[in-house]
Amino acid sequence: MLEFAILGLLHQSPMHGYELRKQLAQVLGGLRSISFGSLYPALKRMHAAGLIGTDEPDPHALLPADAPPLTGRRGKVVYAITAEGKERFHELVCQTGPEAYDDGGSFGVRLAFFGHTAADVRLRILEGRRRTVESQREGLRSSLARTRERVDRYTLELQRHGLESVDREVRWLSELIDHERREAQNGRPAQLGAPPE
Amino acid sequence: MLEFAILGLLHQSPMHGYELRKQLAQVLGGLRSISFGSLYPALKRMHAAGLIGTDEPDPHALLPADAPPLTGRRGKVVYAITAEGKERFHELVCQTGPEAYDDGGSFGVRLAFFGHTAADVRLRILEGRRRTVESQREGLRSSLARTRERVDRYTLELQRHGLESVDREVRWLSELIDHERREAQNGRPAQLGAPPE
DNA sequence: CCCCGATGTATCGAGACGATACATCGGGGT
DNA sequence: ACCCCGATGTATCGTCTCGATACATCGGGG
């Protein structure tokens, strides 16, 4: 999850941890971000696994006067994706199982990197997500029908708002799916199957 | 958080862990629940802290024939709130700081137990939550305005959907706040300050 | 009679989080 | 000239949560 997002961002350009976090917040839709307490251990793990490399400059290198345009980033650690990292990213990008659209933020990250994702994979993920949210909606509907009159006004209100939210998400996903389908018909003829690396 | 929810549920009646989890899911609005891997350690912590007690019956007690209405729950562990637990719950219920309405599910749990919450505390929590979500909305708005044309169609779509979601939440909160205000004017005259236990 | 699904309790490792501690830079105020 | 402050930047700690997994028992249907 975090791994996916880090690989995706470093796939575009090398970055500091700090910058990574900011980009992550943007890409995640502005709401949820990630804490440094998660980010740095993840970077350490991924570095140990060979997925990313560090451009660690000599911390004692004296900058000569010919480098004023540097915006303040001195001897800090720059991370870059490795060949193994790109390979891993492509593996992850091609996954279409429940881990790609279940709850817990994975869907948001997957969507954020749809630019790197094949059209048929995009469609499968969107449809899987829609199935997930639809089943949540049905559960919520029946729960609301059962508990109506039996619970707190506030609990009821919470459930009502939740139901409307998942309802909106289903409609949103349906729009995205329709758009994908239309695009698939217009331009490219079929484009089935992910390119075999 | 989990502690709050458990205390709130056990405040109503003693329960098994399993039942606790089901009730929790209902009270949380049907979507998010809690895993046993969180629940049982939490119960253990709270038991150690003296907030809850276990009604642990003798597992070798032979049930005589005069107890057929039992629905299958034999020698399992029933948890009940203690006096300290009730005290702690009332402390938590009276909190109106950011921990009561910041992200991370605490607001949902607080709302679920508004029945136990004084009217002025309810209002402060709803307003705090609205402020939080409003600032998220502003951040998202400016982010959208800045990054429009510079990012992926999918990222844009994600941000747009997120913005509409927080927008809807603000409107929902405003309705709840209006309702609280109207109710405060109609019935009770002031009702400031929590009833001192 | 046996198996299966619901009920029920419990633990493990992986990982995320908030708090916290550093250190450096640029700039604004006095 | 000085100093403080906020942004940038890296890192760790303890605590909590999660998903997976392993049990065991009950009632009911084949």
Q: Identity (one letter) of the amino acid at A181? A: R
Largest CA distance in chain A: 75
Find out whether B34 and B18 touch, Cβ atoms under 8 Å.
no
**Nearest Cα residue in chain B from A116:** B152
The predicted-structure confidence for B130-155, as pLDDT tens digits, reads as follows 998 898 888 888 878 877 777 788 88
Which string of DSSP letters, residue by residue, matches B159-192?
HHHHHHHHHHHHHHHHHHHHHHHHHHHHSSS---
Categorize the per-residue pLDDT at B164 as very low, low, confident or very high, splitting at 50, 70 and 90.
Answer: very high
Q: At what angle do helices B153-186 and B119-147 cross, to 10 degrees?
A: 160
Q: What is the mean pLDDT of chain A?
A: 81
**Backbone φ, ψ for residue A79 (5° rounding):** -100, 145
A158 — phi, psi (to 5°)? -60, -45
Average pLDDT over chain B, rounded to whole? 81
- Under a CB-based contact definition with an 8 Å cutoff, are residues B166 and B143 in contact? no
Distances (CA, A) of A88 to A6, A92, A143, B111: 12, 6, 41, 43
The torsion of the CA quartet A44, A49, A52, A54, rounded to 10 degrees, works out to 50
Per-residue model confidence as pLDDT tens digits over B77-91: 899 999 999 999 999
* Residue B47 confidence (pLDDT): 93
Residue-level pLDDT at B75: 54
Of the CA atoms within 13 Å of residue B180, those in its CB half-sphere come to: 22
| Residue-by-residue DSSP string for A22-65 | HHHHHHTTSS----HHHHHHHHHHHHHTTSEEE----TTPPP-T
Report the Cα B38 to chain-centroid distance in Å.
Answer: 15
The one-letter amino acid at B23: Q
Beta bridge partners of B15: B79
The rounded percent of chain A whose pLDDT value lies above 70 is 84
Residue from A125, A155, A163, A172 to probe the interface with B (highest B Cβ count within 10 Å) = A155
Strand positions, DSSP E, chain B: 52-54, 79-81
> Three-state SS for B57?
coil
Find the helix packing angle between B83-94 and B2-12, rounded to 10°: 120
- Looking at CA atoms only, how far is residue A64 from chain B in angstroms? 35
Burial class (CB in 10 A: 0-12, 13-18, 19+), B189: exposed
Point out the least confidently predicted range of A37-51, A54-68, A134-148: A54-68
Q: What is the radius of gyration, based on Cα positions, of chain A?
A: 22
Q: Which residues of B fall below an 8 Å CB-CB distance to A? A: 26-27, 29-32, 103, 108, 111-112, 114-115, 136, 139-140, 143-144, 147, 151-152, 154-155, 157-159, 161-166, 168-169, 172, 176
Candidates B32, B116, B155, partner chain A, best to mutate (most A CBs within 10 A) = B155
Contacts of B147 (CB under 8 A, 6+ apart): A26, B155, B156, B159
- When mean pLDDT is compared across A156-160, B51-55, B61-65, the lowest value belongs to B61-65
pLDDT value at residue B197: 39
